[in-house]
Amino acid sequence: MSDVAVLTERALAHARNGDTTAAEQSFRELLQHAPEDVQALNFIARCHSTRGEHAAAERLLQRALAAAPDDAGT
């Protein structure tokens, strides 16, 4: 299994278990290996939005849209 796949699974497992902080950290680590990972960008954007950090959320959503214009909502 690739590093990206391992990091993705780890982040998703944290998210399924309700550990948003650990999921966000894992998705951030994933972005170091796959900077255009739409799922990671969207998850972290939602985290920023939840904290009221709307400008940061918007920047990440713009990156997701640029990375996958037909699939930025995944």
Domain assignments of the chain as residue spans, ordered by start: 3-67
Q: Is the pLDDT of residue 74 over 80?
A: no
The residue among 68, 47, 65 whose CA lies nearest residue 56 is: 47
For residue range 51-60, what is the model confidence (pLDDT) as tens digits?
999 999 999 9
Q: Return the axis-axis angle of helices 3-16 and 38-50, rounded to nearest 10°.
A: 30
Is the pLDDT reported for residue 72 higher than 60? no
Tokens found for residue 72:
């930025």
> What's the confidence (pLDDT) of residue 73?
53
Mean pLDDT of 59-71: 91
pLDDT over 90 (residue 2) = no
In CATH, which superfamily holds the domain spanning 3-67? Tetratricopeptide repeat domain (1.25.40.10)
Please choose, from the candidates 57, 62, 50, the residue with its C-alpha nearest in 3D space to the C-alpha of residue 21.
Answer: 50
Residue that the structure tokens 């939840």 belong to = 50
